[in-house]
Structure 1
């Protein structure tokens, strides 16, 4: 009998020790912590957090707990092995964005830190500021005035010619994923060999699946497979980096050729260059940022345009007007992208309803008070775009698809946060905006499409994705 009860007794003992550890950390048992529950030992409430995304309602995790604990501003939980306070809504977003490097600093779960290693999102303080400035000189808004638009347009046209024209049916998510990854490889590294891009893309798809998982590094787990895929990608990137360094020395490549050359040739403000491994890690990060988020946005915009023919027609009219102003054979320019105001309102409303990134994490640098509760030093914090965007207090008739929300001054500050905010605003925001708009310009002016699976479910693994990839039937416009 004891042998049968032994696993259960061990579980109970471990649970008790977990509770004792949580409540006695730093020897402080009487501080006024936010209401909430740390859940099960080790896994905490991680499964409930992930399950809400798998069910297509990521905001449910926060909604259920704010209602259960009667605390609409903040509650405590345990996610991915860490004690955590969830700061809810615009007030929480404003507090976290405004206190970067003062009360809080950027933090990611162990799975993310181990996969990306040393790069922009895992370094802190002055080092992060210097690295961000170095990257902004190539990826910031000013860099886009003279770069990218024509190149993106040319690559988009080529992609549509190869993968869309002449096809009756297309799986949008899978096809756009090929486009976004190829575009990132070409613009960041001038990588053109389709076989090489395909090989990297296959590894990348494995890598992505382990990002928001418990960091259990044993064979068979998603994290184990993801970590090994990341190592294989780094090996490929290091080969490309070493080759480029030689090409630069021999005058066969330009210092302004792409982001890779920029990293190799440009020191930071302290006249220090990134190591080759740091370059590889940051390119891995940017391949992620410029690949999956754009893929999700394009896919979901195409879904909404098919579901709302009236909005599709407005987007089409705007894009045709822009086409008329482009000389025959000409490519999109920065000025053309700036004219796509209604189309960007549509994209913005799609990102409100299904933000590409659900939220992000911080870590408390010191003890601080928030909403009448103490958040201890070392605790992790989470803000949620999904919850903020779906709160009726922030948007009227919150589930209705309505691009007009973004006309004029747009939403109230801190209620719309698909790219984060503050000093940690998404570095690739402008790149993603141009990429999405260049693609939509080309696809809308060539095709209309019908959804083959009406009301296809959206799941989050970890990003919003149609369960079957959004298969569509293409209907080319008559010339």
Structure 2
């Protein structure tokens, strides 16, 4: 055989051999990446997935699937997305500590659109300015200044809507109070215009009703109504921005009366180039803050009242703590931050309420890269959900989890990452202190004024996915003598 041909065949054989070895290497690497299985579970119906079950019965949804598939992780389909639900304190720690590393914040598009978030540009200067101002505004050193306002508003609300009645529907009344307070703090602190408040409140309540419904943009459907109402809310905020700008331009104003609320802060701040926060970003933050503050605190306050009315011995301990604070105040003297810090048992009661009736069932993230958790593979692009119910109702972390027992929060309290009503990590709820103060101040005024008794201790609760009492939580009132 010619030496040239022999050499050519040898080289060809070597090339084929190297190619085969390289292919086997690639295949082995690919297999090693996929050697872990996806979390077990099912996707449900086309398009809607298991969204209706998740929204209407979140506790049962989570606990049943943890039992059926895996106690650490399972997969489902929510809002048209494949979702891995990671469960337990290890999952909470993993999710909160990997923000912007393996995961990023995510909202279903239908919710994001209703909350005026869908067109936001996180890289814009206006977006960054808005978020920086908002975070500073909700820091404790600023929020504690509102304790007196919260106190006087709670007194006025109870005297106007509760005192004249022998029986009230707690849930709708608390919605009115928490919305008005949010409006004062975020939109118009000094001399609030009640007409403007109502014009914002009515469409806001309407869009809240349909924001988490099946996202069908069809006339007459709840989500269609929610988006129409959301647009009205944004337009109302745009109008308020222009009115405030004109007022600031025409009046000799007191600086403190301009930045008393969040809207004023937005309008006063300029960056190095003289640019200001856009009206779209102002609306984005204010809509988000009002939604988060009034929606979740309404749930917490309402169900705290329900539990107090059903557990007289707990009510008596809260009353004793709050009366000690009240006796330390002078006639007409308002509560302050020091008083709020003394409400330790009352806060335990509120925490136990949030454990049993979470104001938010959890949070969503998006995987920004492939990762493994608890023996399962999670691909990039999958959505991730952490659930309050996976720990709150687990007897391993909370003995007799169905029992209302506030004293479980005494001392060092629950184990780390088992009770996270405000999330954790870089995306921990920035309104935590606002919610805590508002809830405690309202509770102080309520128990020092009334004895409470549930009309129907077994009133049914439906979920959307937050708990909502079917009949508004009817309560008998009796003024303290």
- TM (normalized to structure 1)? 0.88
What is aligned with 1:213?
213
1:238-257 pair list within 5 angstroms? 238-250=238-250, 251-252=252-253, 254=255, 255-257=258-260
Alignment counterpart, residue 453 of structure 2, candidates 430, 435, 450: 450
What is aligned with 1:18?
none
Where 1:108 maps in the other structure, the secondary structure is coil
What is aligned with 2:266?
263
Where 2:85 maps in the other structure, the secondary structure is strand
Runs of 4+ with >4 A deviation: 28-31, 122-131, 267-272
Where 1:473 maps in the other structure, the secondary structure is strand
Distance of aligned partners of 1:125 and 1:60 in 2 relative to their CA distance in 1, 3 Å threshold = farther
Quick one: distance in 2 between partners of 1:35 and 1:157? 52
Distance of aligned partners of 1:126 and 1:106 in 2 relative to their CA distance in 1, 3 Å threshold = farther
Give ranges in structure 2 of 5+ residues lacking alignment. Answer: 1-32
Q: CA RMSD in A?
A: 2.2
Alignment counterpart, residue 157 of structure 1, candidates 132, 155, 159: 155
Quick one: distance in 1 between partners of 2:272 and 2:360? 31
What is aligned with 1:41?
46
Please say if residues 244 and 253 of structure 1, whose CA atoms lie closer than 8 Å, have aligned partners that are also in contact.
no
What is aligned with 1:75?
74
Quick one: distance in 1 between partners of 2:220 and 2:34? 39
Quick one: distance in 2 between partners of 1:125 and 1:105? 15
What is aligned with 1:196?
196
What is aligned with 2:394?
391
Quick one: distance in 1 between partners of 2:46 and 2:94? 30
Is residue 338 of structure 2 the alignment partner of residue 335 of structure 1? Answer: yes
Alignment counterpart, residue 327 of structure 2, candidates 324, 327, 334: 324
What is aligned with 1:375?
378
Please say if residues 354 and 464 of structure 1, whose CA atoms lie closer than 8 Å, have aligned partners that are also in contact.
yes
Please say if residues 358 and 388 of structure 2, whose CA atoms lie closer than 8 Å, have aligned partners that are also in contact.
yes
What is aligned with 1:11?
none
Where 2:445 maps in the other structure, the secondary structure is helix
What is aligned with 1:10?
none
Quick one: distance in 2 between partners of 1:268 and 1:60? 49
Distance of aligned partners of 1:402 and 1:130 in 2 relative to their CA distance in 1, 3 Å threshold = farther
What is aligned with 1:168?
166
Cα deviation, 1:421-468, whole Å, max 9, x if unaligned, reads: 111111111111111111111111010121111211222223222111
Distance of aligned partners of 1:29 and 1:220 in 2 relative to their CA distance in 1, 3 Å threshold = farther
Q: Deviation at 1:259?
A: 0.7
Is residue 408 of structure 2 the alignment partner of residue 409 of structure 1? Answer: no
Please say if residues 129 and 277 of structure 2, whose CA atoms lie closer than 8 Å, have aligned partners that are also in contact.
no
Please say if residues 213 and 222 of structure 1, whose CA atoms lie closer than 8 Å, have aligned partners that are also in contact.
yes
Q: Deviation at 1:308?
A: 0.5
Distance of aligned partners of 1:236 and 1:439 in 2 relative to their CA distance in 1, 3 Å threshold = same
Q: Deviation at 1:51?
A: 3.1
Quick one: distance in 2 between partners of 1:406 and 1:391? 15
Q: Deviation at 1:189?
A: 1.5
What is aligned with 2:237?
237
Please say if residues 111 and 213 of structure 1, whose CA atoms lie closer than 8 Å, have aligned partners that are also in contact.
no
Q: Deviation at 1:252?
A: 3.8
What is aligned with 1:59?
59
Q: Deviation at 1:118?
A: 3.0
Flag the structure with larger Rg: 2
Where 1:342 maps in the other structure, the secondary structure is helix
What is aligned with 1:439?
442
Q: Deviation at 1:263?
A: 1.2
1:288-327 pair list within 5 angstroms? 288-327=291-330
Is residue 425 of structure 2 the alignment partner of residue 422 of structure 1? Answer: yes
Distance of aligned partners of 1:31 and 1:210 in 2 relative to their CA distance in 1, 3 Å threshold = farther
